[in-house]
């Protein structure tokens, strides 16, 4: 799979993305272990991947394809994203 070249100047930690937003993973920053990165990659969470944020509390929950994944705040803060589609107000 080809990976898009993404700007990192306007990316934010995953914890800063609004529930319902679609985001693209731009990078992983220090604070995430090699083992955690390996586990996330096995779920398809990698740079250039578009995911949806389902909720932020009590933990960050993502939708990756058809899989929901819950992340602790420490891990979610180490994943930086760029918002590509903001949720519509209800």
CATH number at residue 31: 2.30.30.90
- Asked if the structure places residue 36 within a domain, the reply is yes
What the block records as the tokens of 64 is 């990756």
For the stretch 12-40, pLDDT in tens is 999 999 999 999 999 999 989 999 999 99
- Asked if the structure places residue 78 within a domain, the reply is yes
**Residue 32 falls in which region: left (phi positive, over 0), alpha (psi -120 to 50) or beta:** beta
Secondary structure (3-state) at 87: coil
Whole-number Å distance between alpha carbons of 39 and 19? 23
pLDDT tops 60 at residue 5: no
pLDDT band for 1, please (50, 70, 90 cuts).
very low
Number of domains in the chain: 1
What the block records as the tokens of 8 is 């990192």
Mean pLDDT, all residues of the chain? 89
Domain extent for 35: 12-85
- Asked if the structure places residue 51 within a domain, the reply is yes
Tell me the whole-structure pTM to 2 decimals. Answer: 0.83
Looking at residue 88, what is its pLDDT? 65
Cα 60 to the center of its chain, rounded Å = 9
- Asked if the structure places residue 42 within a domain, the reply is yes
- Asked if the structure places residue 59 within a domain, the reply is yes
Looking at residue 59, what is its pLDDT? 96
């Amino acid at each position: 799979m080809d990976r898009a070249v993404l700007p990192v100047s306007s990316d934010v930690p995953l914890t800063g993305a609004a529930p319902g937003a679609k985001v693209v993973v731009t990078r992983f920053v220090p604070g995430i272990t090699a083992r955690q990165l390996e586990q996330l990659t096995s779920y398809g969470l990698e740079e250039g991947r578009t995911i949806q944020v389902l909720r932020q509390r009590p933990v960050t929950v993502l939708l990756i394809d058809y899989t929901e994944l819950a992340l602790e705040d420490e891990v979610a803060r180490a994943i930086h994203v760029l918002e590509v589609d903001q949720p519509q107000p209800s």
